[in-house]
Amino acid sequence: MLYTLGMMYNKVDFLKSIYLRAFVGFLLSFLIVILLGKPFINYLKRKKLKEKIRECGPVSHYSKKGTPTMGGVLLILGSLMTILIVGNFENKFTILLILITVLFSSIGFIDDYKKFTVNKDGLSGKKKLFGQSLISAIVWIFVKEFGLTSNNILDFSIINPLIHNSYFYIGSLFMLIFIMIVINGTSNAVNITDGLDGLAIMPVIISCSILATIAYFSGHIEMSNHLKLFYINGAGEIMVFLSTIIGSGLAFLWYNCYPAQIFMGDTGSLTLGGIIGVIAVLLKQELLLPLIGGIFVIEAISVILQVSSYKIRKKRIFKMAPIHHHFELMDIPESKVTLRFWIIALLFGIVALGAVRLRGIL
């Protein structure tokens, strides 16, 4: 009888090692995407699923016309195929994360596909927001039914990420609203950031790496106590899941870096942002998330400020929003803008880890 690593979890002792399965998950997902990358790109070209450049965008982007998109399908598929092998399916978080990944990628896929078959705008913003809100409601139901910490009050509280044992109870209903804000906001912020070759995927990899570290600490009784994190039973498996995202994301970057051979499309960006938001909720790190994904916050705020300024004052703050286009129009090469944003994302990640350590002191 054939067993996957996840199915053999309780049959072979060394497979209980989260480190081992996370390493295998990273390596396997990387190999799947790197090996399937070129055939998948050629398939998209044959099907003529290529990027259409908006005339209102920077002139430098016209050269990107015809680049295959919907690369998020490959990225997400590589991750899901791997988690089916290395995941522990007796763990509630593994099941939930697979479910929300499928749901988010379905929204993104329908959006991408409609752009080629129905209209260039794809799904309307209201429909995407409705779908994202339904997924947020599923996460809320999960928290309500299965719990996260051993304390029901903590599960429906906003946690201070800097000060130990500091939290504000908001109750079940307001937690639903809060979860929707976190997940919908993160999903759309990553989508907004995905505007230059390789720009979004590296900050995603960094954010997932930080969250994977926190997940391991939160699921370890001694480490969670040492760092004054709330112990979340089984949270270590979130690290295994994130390792597959990191591996497939790094392999995708091989083809997505400047000049990109493929774009991830909404299938990738909406899903990856949604996953990051969901995991921040599951780890009770909602308020640390803006620091972990600081570059996504900057991009989203730039759009909000630009739209608000134009509606109120009929004047623009930036040459173009999101802000990465502003720097492009300042004649900074795209590759340099991307690399500098990566550096900023890494700095945010380092500060976020420092904040976790600070919590263990204060």
**DSSP per residue, 306-317:** HHHHHHHHS--S
* 93 CA to centre of own chain: 16
pLDDT at residue 113, as a whole number: 87
How far apart CA 355 and CA 291 sit, in angstroms, is 9
pLDDT at residue 297, as a whole number: 97
b/e map of 73-84 (b: 16 or more CB within 10 Å)?
bbbbbbbbbbbb
pLDDT at residue 119, as a whole number: 76
**DSSP per residue, 165-178:** T-EEE-HHHHHHHH
Peptide bond into 333 cis (omega under 30): no
147 Cβ partners below 8 Å, 6+ apart? 155
Q: Read off the pLDDT of residues 184-223 as tens digits, 9 standing for 90 and up.
A: 999 999 999 999 999 999 999 999 999 999 999 999 999 9
172 close to 144: Cβ distance less than 8 angstroms: yes
Q: What is the CB neighbour count within 10 angstroms for residue 100?
A: 22
Is the pTM higher than 0.95? The answer reads no
How far apart CA 32 and CA 37 sit, in angstroms, is 8
**DSSP per residue, 134-203:** HHHHHHHHHHHHH-SSS-HHHHTEEEPSSSTT-EEE-HHHHHHHHHHHHHHHHHHHHHHHTTSTTTTHHH
pLDDT at residue 4, as a whole number: 56
Residues of the chain with pLDDT under 70: 1-15, 50-63, 360, 362
Token pair listed for 197: 């070759």
pLDDT at residue 117, as a whole number: 78
Q: Read off the pLDDT of residues 247-262 as tens digits, 9 standing for 90 and up.
A: 999 999 999 999 999 9
